[in-house]
Copies of this chain bind each other. A is one copy, B any other.
Amino acid sequence: MAIRKNKPIDLQADMKYLEDTMYVISGKWKMKIILALICGSKRYREIAKAVPNITFRMLSKELKQLEQNKLISRTVTMDNMIQYEITGYAQTLAPTIIEMIKWGKEHRENIKN
């Protein structure tokens, strides 16, 4: 890693990597949808319930984008149900999401005031 004891190896490169990640997870919903999927939601309505206040419109849009970015897969099962799953690729986002939840948890009070 580049950040260590204020001795960055290549700040400009890290900026770019950070930007890439920000781009993928940008927007109000993507990370939440991924979290829902990580936690086991598979069906469209299931995801909609797991992600508070999301509209169908936004859910559809985001699912499509996430699929395009290979973060999730959409399949029709044998009994004709639609099933969403995160890809192995998206699984690698888990540590990032976990860190974000951790941070939000630990610093909730500070955020409020």
A interface residue numbers (CB < 8 A to B): 1-3, 6, 8, 11-12, 14-24, 28, 31-32, 35-36, 38-40, 50-52, 69-70, 89, 92-108, 110-111
> Which chain B positions have C-beta within 8 A of A52?
12, 15
- Ranked nearest first, the 10 interchain pairs of A and B with the lowest CB-CB distance are A17-B104, A20-B104, A21-B104, A96-B99, A21-B100, A8-B39, A17-B105, A17-B101, A99-B99, A21-B103
Q: Are B69 and A101 in contact (CB under 8 A)?
A: no
> Which chain B positions have C-beta within 8 A of A28?
22
**Bound Cα distance from A98 to B102, whole angstroms:** 14
Q: Are A20 and B94 in contact (CB under 8 A)?
A: no
